[in-house]
Amino acid sequence: MSSLSNSIDEWLDWFSGIVLKAQQRTLDRLHFLLAKAKLLDRPRGRINARQEKALLRVFAEGPDGFKGGLSAANYRTITDAAPATATRDLAELVELEAFRKEGALRHTRYHLNFGG
């Protein structure tokens, strides 16, 4: 014979945990959107269409951008820019504090710079 109970403590614990996780995801998303708006506002009017396209593409990946960072080759694929143009565009984005640069030469990667 099984004993039935009207106790819903376990269910309430589970449900409140789900609600708290959903609230945290919402807060994280909101913080990302606010940081994105601030980051896009800094270089406003000083970037070209290729740079804007690349920034928006990296933002589409979420708060961490591309896994491992954006490479010059990724930038060229996104924008159809020539190698020298990609290098110049990326250097300008670093100067404008939209990206931060890590590594050197073929291992150079660019990450969103939310702290700028």
Closest CA to 110 of 60, 75, 79, 76: 75
Closest CA to 109 of 96, 11, 93: 93
**Amino acid symbol at 99:** F
pLDDT in single tens digits along all 116 residues of the chain: 556 777 899 999 999 999 999 999 999 999 999 999 999 998 999 999 999 999 999 999 987 778 899 999 999 999 999 999 999 999 999 999 999 999 999 899 999 998 86
pTM above 0.85, yes or no: no
Query: CATH number for the 9-112 domain, one of 3.40.30.10, 3.60.20.10, 1.10.8.60, 1.10.10.10?
Result: 1.10.10.10
Q: What's phi and psi for 114, nearest 5 deg?
A: -75, -20
Strand partners, 111: 100
Query: Do the Cβ atoms of 114 and 35 come closer than 8 Å?
Result: yes
